[in-house]
Amino acid sequence: MVHLVWLAAATAVLGKSERPAVPALGPAEAQVLVERALAAELRTAQDASHPMRYLLHKTSSRLSTTKEIVETKDGAVARLLAMNGEPLSPFAEQQEEARLEALLNDPGRQRHRKQGEDQDTARALKVLRALPQAFVYTFQGSSRSAGGAVARFSFRPNRNFVPQDFETQALTAMAGEIWVNVAEERVMYLKGYLEQDVSFGWGILGRLAKGGWVEIKQADVGGGQWRVVHFKMGMNGRVLFKNRVFDTEEEESGFAPVPANLSYRQAIEMLRLSRQNGMRVKGE
């Protein structure tokens, strides 16, 4: 994962008695600045003109994996590099190579994956669009970081907000904090937690338990491109009649741009070449 030096620097600055990085903002000014930052996130989420390749390290209570991801116009393509901190066995490498070969020979598989990606993006966009109206934002101070001034805000549910779908229902019970890079007007950090249980479909479809939380960190990964570099979630709940625990942590690093017109077939060859050239991952 990209080491978040800006986060440590910003935290250290908070303890110093020096002139604030940002003058105190009233309620209306705070709301405007956060809304502008959220609007930038929405534009980025809808802009596919700057694809990247990067490493994704994902951890849960059961398993940790490291994958190389390449974004393409046909959807993202991944290659598994390590499991539980260890490189793949020769047999697992053969399985991964066979999976990529099957993907090459069956474009329908990639189309199905792309449809899933598009559905996930659509759900995320619903939440992003709702954030300005879902919360009331209050200025809590500022700090300085290597990237410039950082404004910190708390947020709480807006009682006038009426969710239109399941994706935004949880926002009615969430509070937390959000940090904004003032010069870039980009969200650097967000953490929200559920202040009460949230039911879906009158409790029939599911329920998220009070105390669940989500944390997101973003950074400029080069060329003015902001990406999520850390995501962590801890939620307990019930989906239909089955209890579920959502505990996952994702770290993204090593971002590099790729051509905007890259096809998924070209991405597979790119992944094969990087593996042949001995790309090393954590655990190797």
Structural domain includes residue 281 = no
Cα-flanking dihedrals φ and ψ of residue 184, to 5°? -85, -15
Q: Give the C-alpha separation, 176 to 28, whole Å.
A: 19
Q: Give the C-alpha separation, 34 to 147, whole Å.
A: 17
Number of domains in the chain: 1
**pLDDT at position 209:** 83
Q: Give the C-alpha separation, 221 to 193, whole Å.
A: 27
Q: Which domain holds residue 147?
A: 5-11+24-276
Per-residue tens of pLDDT for the chain, all 284 residues: 334 333 333 333 333 435 567 788 888 999 999 999 999 999 999 999 999 999 999 999 889 999 999 999 999 999 999 999 999 999 999 999 999 999 999 999 999 999 999 999 998 999 999 999 999 999 999 988 877 899 999 999 999 999 988 789 889 999 999 999 999 999 999 999 999 988 765 444 567 888 889 999 999 999 899 999 999 999 887 665 566 677 899 999 999 999 999 999 999 999 999 877 765 444 34
Question: Do 168 and 196 contact (CB within 8 A), yes or no?
Answer: no
Distance of CA 119 to the CA centre of its chain: 16
- HEC string of 226-250 equals EEEEEEEEEEEEEECCEEEEEEEEE
Q: Give the C-alpha separation, 7 to 221, whole Å.
A: 15
Structural domain includes residue 17 = no
**pLDDT at position 19:** 55
The H-assigned helical ranges of 74-188 are: 90-105, 107-134, 166-169
Q: Give the C-alpha separation, 52 to 78, whole Å.
A: 12
Cα-flanking dihedrals φ and ψ of residue 164, to 5°? -100, -5
Helix (H, G, I), strand (E, B) or coil at 25: coil
**pLDDT at position 134:** 96
Structural domain includes residue 282 = no
Helix (H, G, I), strand (E, B) or coil at 169: helix
Which of 138, 224, 232 is CA-nearest to residue 186? 224
Structural domain includes residue 228 = yes
Q: Give the C-alpha separation, 151 to 33, whole Å.
A: 9
Cα-flanking dihedrals φ and ψ of residue 102, to 5°? -65, -35
Structural domain includes residue 133 = yes
Q: Cα-atom radius of gyration of the chain, to the nearest Å?
A: 21
Structural domain includes residue 30 = yes
Structural domain includes residue 18 = no
Quick one: angle between helices 107-134 and 27-46, nearest 10? 170
For 192, the token pair is 């929200």
Structural domain includes residue 283 = no
